[in-house]
Structure 1
Amino acid sequence: MEIPESNEMVTEEIDFRKDKYPFCIVWTPIPLLTWLFPFIGHMGIAMSSGVIRDFAGPYYVSEDNMAFGRPTKYWQLRYSLARGGISGWDSGVTEASEIYKTRMHNLCCDNCHSHVATALNLMQYNKSTSWNMVKLAILMLLYSKYVSFTGFLKTWLPFVFIVIVSLTIFFTVR
């Protein structure tokens, strides 16, 4: 399977200050959970306009206001790999959002990652309908970029702090 990367022109450029991420999957840390497991976080998907949609809780899909704060990582995909191009991309994101407005949120089985996977499946991104939360988590870990050094710190600093404190306590008590 070809791993899509951002090497083609899009209708809008990413605007980090305004949190506009056209054709991107975005990610932000979840306090406590990400502090312990830095690869676990909250995910959303942006329309061609850059507006972010995320399954933020039971029966609720947020628009441009991610549940756990501003994105710290993003992965820009190629809209040309969506069936129908730009309109296919937007249609997939919109339809997935409408579906998830009727769903109960479940941290382990039907969550923000599932919402993004559904959008990619509906648009048949990269000719695939086998997108799922595990695949997305792994690909985000491998192919995403941090929005800034601060985004990197928000993701990793709490984890590093917990590890250092834990090791210090462990070796001090021994």
Structure 2
Amino acid sequence: MEEEEAEVGKMNSDRCRFPYCVVWTPIPVLTWLFPIIGHMGICTSIGVIRDFAGPYYVSEDNMAFGKPVKYWKLDPSKVYTCGPNAWDTAVHDASEEYKHRMHNLCCDNCHSHVALALNLMRYDNSNSWNMVKLCFFSLLYGKYVSIGGFVKTWLPFILLLGVIIIVSLTLHLR
């Protein structure tokens, strides 16, 4: 029991605890074709993952496409909204809002859910977070949980690219 209490608020990839983080995992086929596109969630101050997993559904600690392979650690001191629980309140409020929304792959998706949470807390004194900005910031600042996470993200793309190159070279040599 004491060990569990000591773990609260600490990052632990084995237990999927990423406090104050944006987390990311690949989406089969879509990420194989476009490795920067994947599924995103946001974690509470104790590391509980919330993700917009489908129409009218925000999951808790059960990401739609598996455990996170990347995380982007954010700084809770950059939360502009006042209050001791401002981070958790924003994550909660964004999740409650998305429980009433239809999922749309291109326009209103998991990235939009995370953006709303960051906008509600005015993270980094900004209310202009959106899915494109999150995609690129996650790409730039995200860290892989393990080598396996890197492989899971990039190997299918590299294999697919290799097959395309071999086939095109074979056809070109004929």
Q: Give the TM-score, by structure 1 length.
A: 0.92
Tell me which amino acid in the other structure corresponds to 1:127: N
1:97-116 equivalence runs, <5 A:
97-116=95-114
Is structure 2 residue 52 aligned with structure 1 residue 30? no
The percent identity for this pair of structures is 62
Moved more, 77-86 or 138-147: 77-86
For residue 19 of structure 1, what is the aligned residue in structure 2? 16
CA-CA distance at 1:84 after TM superposition: 2.8
Which of 55, 62, 72 is the matching residue for 2:69? 72
Tell me which amino acid in the other structure corresponds to 1:148: S
Q: How far apart, in 2, do the equivalents of 1:141 and 1:75 lie?
A: 9
For residue 171 of structure 2, what is the aligned residue in structure 1? 173
Unpaired runs of 5+ residues, structure 1, are 1-10
- Computing the radius of gyration over CA atoms, which structure comes out larger, 1 or 2? 2
Report Cα offsets for 1:129-163 as digits up to 9, x if no partner.
10000000010000000000000000000000000
CA-CA distance at 1:126 after TM superposition: 0.9
Q: Is the 8 A contact 2:10 2:46 kept in 1?
A: no
Partner of 1:156, secondary structure, is: helix
Which of 18, 33, 41 is the matching residue for 2:38? 41
Q: Give the TM-score, by structure 2 length.
A: 0.92
Unpaired runs of 5+ residues, structure 2, are 1-7
Q: Is the 8 A contact 1:74 1:147 kept in 2?
A: yes
**RMSD of the alignment, in Å?**
1.0
Which of 141, 146, 149 is the matching residue for 1:151? 149
